[in-house]
Structure 1
Amino acid sequence: MYLLVIGVVLTLLKYLEIGFVANWSWWWVLAPYAGAALWWAWADTTGYTKRKAAEKMEQRKQQRIDKQRESLGLRSKTPRR
């Protein structure tokens, strides 16, 4: 996501000819888009995206369980000292 935002900002700076980016080649300005595409391809092929989504869902599930236990007056699954 960061690469995409950087790409949009650089594209606007180049198109509007603002600052030092105006002198850059279009290849340098458009490079973050290629980086974002490579990142998304890697994340999808290695399962990184699905793994992060599963971790997020598991965290939400555990938060709901803890909230329900607390509302019932039961102890949460915190380790004893």
Structure 2
Amino acid sequence: MWMIIVVALLTLLKYLEFGPFANLSWWWIVGLAFFAFLWFEFFERMLGLDKRKDHMHFEKMKKERVKRSFDKGKPRR
């Protein structure tokens, strides 16, 4: 996600010709955007990072559901 933010920020700074970014070549921005595309489309899947995030999310939901069900079953005093 941070790569997309950097690409957007660099694009904005280049477009507004802010400071040293005015002389920055558009090829650097396009290259970084292409690398971000490759990362999210291929490398992240190859390394299994996309599935790991999904599994962590579902494990968290499962733990919360179990906790809620046990909290409902407790008698109140």
Aligned equivalent of 1:79: none
Aligned equivalent of 1:27: 27
Structure 1 residue 45: deviation in Å?
2.4
Higher helix share: 2
Amino acid at match of 2:2: Y
Identity %: 35
TM-score of the two chains, using structure 2 as the length reference: 0.79
Distance across 1 between alignment mates of 2:55 and 2:16: 42
Matched residue pairs, number?
A: 74
TM-score of the two chains, using structure 1 as the length reference: 0.76
The SS at the match of 2:17 is coil
Point out where structure 1 has 5 or more consecutive residues left out of the alignment: 75-81
Q: CA RMSD in A?
A: 1.7
Point out where structure 2 has 5 or more consecutive residues left out of the alignment: none
Amino acid at match of 2:29: V
